[in-house]
């Protein structure tokens, strides 16, 4: 799962370059809501639709890698 700690200023995940993606509460909320359902995200330009898509893609990639046994965690 993507680590989004309230103490962290940046999103932390092995597939995302460190200290590059700022954490924003509304993006986290949309990301969580879109994890298990189809979503259409309509927010103004520059507010992070691409970041939300990135977070969802990274989550799906991680799930598939772990499920298929390509990566062993712990």
Per-residue model confidence as pLDDT tens digits over 7-59:
579 988 888 898 899 989 999 999 999 998 999 999 999 999 999 999 999 99
Q: Which ranges of the chain would DSSP assign to H, the alpha helix? A: 25-34, 49-67
| Locus of tokens 């309230």 | 6
| Locus of tokens 């990301």 | 31
pLDDT at 29: 95
pLDDT at 5: 55
Of the two residues 2 and 4, the one the predictor is more confident about is 2
pLDDT at 70: 62
For 68, other C-beta atoms within 10 Å of its C-beta total: 8
pLDDT at 26: 94
pLDDT at 13: 87
Kindly state the tokens that stand for 21: 């993606």
């Amino acid at each position: 799962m993507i680590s989004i700690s309230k103490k962290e200023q940046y999103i932390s995940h092995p597939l995302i370059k460190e200290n590059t993606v700022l954490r924003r509460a509304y993006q986290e909320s949309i990301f969580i809501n879109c994890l298990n359902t189809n979503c259409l995200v309509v927010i103004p330009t520059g507010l992070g639709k691409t970041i939300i898509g990135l977070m969802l893609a990274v989550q799906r990639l991680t799930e598939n890698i772990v499920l298929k046994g390509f990566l062993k965690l712990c």
